[in-house]
Amino acid sequence: MIPTLRFYLLLVLGVAIAVLVAVFFSQAMGLGIMILYDVLLLILGIIDSYRGKNYRIEVTRSPLARLSIGRDNVVELTLKNQDYPAKIWLRDDYPTIFSVSETELRATLSPHSEQTLTYTVKPQQRGEYQWGNLHLRQLGRWALVWQSWTVPALQSVAVYPDLLSLRSLSIRLALENTGSMRQARRLGLGTEFAELREYQQGDDLRYIDWKATARRQRPLVRVLEPEREQTVMILLDRGRLMTAQVKGLKRFDWGLNTALSLALTALHRGDRVGFGVFDRDITTWIAPERGQQHLSKLIESLTPIQPVLLEPDYMGAVSKIVSQQTRRALIVLITDIVDQTASAELLAAMSRLIPRYLPFCIALRDPQMDSIAETSDTLMLPNSNSMLSVAYSRAVAIDLMAQRQAVFARLKQQGVLVLDAPVHLMSNQLVERYLQLKAKNLL
């Protein structure tokens, strides 16, 4: 039982009445009236609290699905009221390490009504977490006290990579498959036979199927489409550089989200997708398969993995690919680049893949480096020490970006595809580059 503001105001009113009685009559009478008043008020508060047990609202939390890291995940609470108006204060016992939109929820329900309250949580780490009980307060009918109780709602919830983004990407790919992908199938595109159609003015004569033309007595041409069932191998670095925090998440989490977006896209396009996670050794190896059920296997296998403070062995990871994948494949390595010296092994490893494979190096850039490098002199603080610190940070950022570009230039000279983008934009940009490669039949 928790007294309300009305209870305290009535209590003050009783004191004021007792003081007036003591002034105009006697102190003993005033004291007696105050005691009697307080006891009566306390009894009314107890009755108000006891009666509240008979018309408590019902509260349930909707089953929590798998949560997405770094995204606002909606939590729904359903409130059902009985015969009387109800004023509610509610707190959910969510994991304390989550960012939350609202720590307390309030609602007013009319009789025989139902209401849904929502709030969002934003996990910053993957893993298993325990959700606690629901803690409620309901205002008594006389508004003298709050009736408080706890609703058991213990639940274990898993935080996964960015599944919300994958769901949106899946819908987009499905729409493309039914629309623009049909339009993309045209004469001479790709190497896999799709259909025969009648010759039209302007068609390339090289694609006329002379045997079919002779059988049907009219010119027919072959329509080709990009070859399906190609192989995409994804290598994800989980070494020291991937432990850094970038925009609220570890760089490894950004890399994992990017890798799964690419895997989803490749599986939608009919390719086989394999996966390797490495530091000093290949710690996780998933052989290439095709089919949408393979994505679930990838998500379940990769979700528990965390980055470690070890230097990655690029040459060892590439050697594993060479020994396991004999046919030509797109080899996508997701990592980050610091400078030319630290990237020497990366250059050597990627060059080993040429020309048998199509290597693709993905560098996850911290957008804060861009903002520091682009800081204008006019924005520097007037304090000399501050100006020196800003100028030094800017010089370091510009130098690091120049060294990154030098590494990328060397990779491109060797025939390695390169994509350098801020971590939060990488997934979309990599998906677009992959679709371009498929459209041009470069795999």
CATH of the domain at 319: 3.40.50.410
Tell me, yes or no, whether 206 and 237 share the same domain: no
Tell me the backbone φ, ψ of residue 107, rounded to 5 degrees: -155, 155
Tell me, yes or no, whether 338 and 357 share the same domain: yes
**pLDDT at position 183, please?**
46
H-run or E-run covering 134: strand 134-139
Task: Tell me whether residue 22 is in a domain.
Answer: yes
Tell me, yes or no, whether 298 and 404 share the same domain: yes
Closest by CA to 234, choosing from 274, 265, 279, is 274
Q: What is the pLDDT of residues 400-424, one digit of tens each?
A: 888 888 889 999 999 999 999 999 9
Closest by CA to 169, choosing from 74, 72, 292, is 292
Task: Tell me whether residue 180 is in a domain.
Answer: no
Tell me, yes or no, whether 44 and 70 share the same domain: no
Task: Tell me whether residue 14 is in a domain.
Answer: yes
Closest by CA to 62, choosing from 190, 141, 155, is 155
Tell me, yes or no, whether 393 and 412 share the same domain: yes
> Where a domain ends, among 208, 225, 242?
225
Tell me, yes or no, whether 266 and 368 share the same domain: yes
Task: Tell me whether residue 182 is in a domain.
Answer: no
The count of other CB atoms within 10 Å of the CB of residue 292 is 10
The count of other CB atoms within 10 Å of the CB of residue 401 is 16
Domain carrying residue 331: 231-439
Most confident of 38-52, 257-271, 339-353: 257-271
Q: Could you give the CA distance from residue 412 to residue 420 in angstroms, rounded to a whole number?
A: 12
Does residue 227 register a pLDDT over 70? no
Q: What is the pLDDT of residues 280-290, one digit of tens each?
A: 999 999 999 99
Closest by CA to 360, choosing from 422, 414, 288, is 414
Tell me, yes or no, whether 114 and 216 share the same domain: no
Kindly list the distances between the CA atom of residue 351 and the CA atoms of 357, 414, 417, 426, in Å, as whole numbers in the listed order. 10, 6, 11, 23
Kindly list the distances between the CA atom of residue 394 and the CA atoms of 99, 368, 378, 424, in Å, as whole numbers in the listed order. 32, 11, 13, 22
Contact 337, 343 (CB under 8 A): yes
Domain count within the chain: 4
Q: What is the pLDDT of residues 308-351, one digit of tens each?
A: 999 999 999 999 999 988 889 999 999 998 777 778 899 999 99
Task: Tell me whether residue 176 is in a domain.
Answer: no
Tell me, yes or no, whether 313 and 331 share the same domain: yes
Tell me, yes or no, whether 264 and 397 share the same domain: yes
Q: Could you give the CA distance from residue 203 to residue 236 in angstroms, rounded to a whole number?
A: 44
Q: Could you give the CA distance from residue 4 to residue 87 in angstroms, rounded to a whole number?
A: 12
Tell me, yes or no, whether 263 and 364 share the same domain: yes
Tell me, yes or no, whether 369 and 415 share the same domain: yes
- Tell me the residue ranges of DSSP E strands in 14-133: 58-61, 67-68, 73-80, 86-92, 99-100, 105-109, 114-122, 127-131
Task: Tell me whether residue 183 is in a domain.
Answer: no
Closest by CA to 292, choosing from 175, 173, 427, is 173
pTM: 0.81
Task: Tell me whether residue 170 is in a domain.
Answer: no
Tell me, yes or no, whether 312 and 348 share the same domain: yes
Query: How far from chain centre, in Å, is Cα 19?
Result: 63
**CATH number for the domain that contains residue 118:** 2.60.40.10
Half-sphere exposure of 289 (CA within 13 A, CB side): 11
Task: Tell me whether residue 187 is in a domain.
Answer: no
Least confident of 14-28, 132-146, 194-208: 194-208
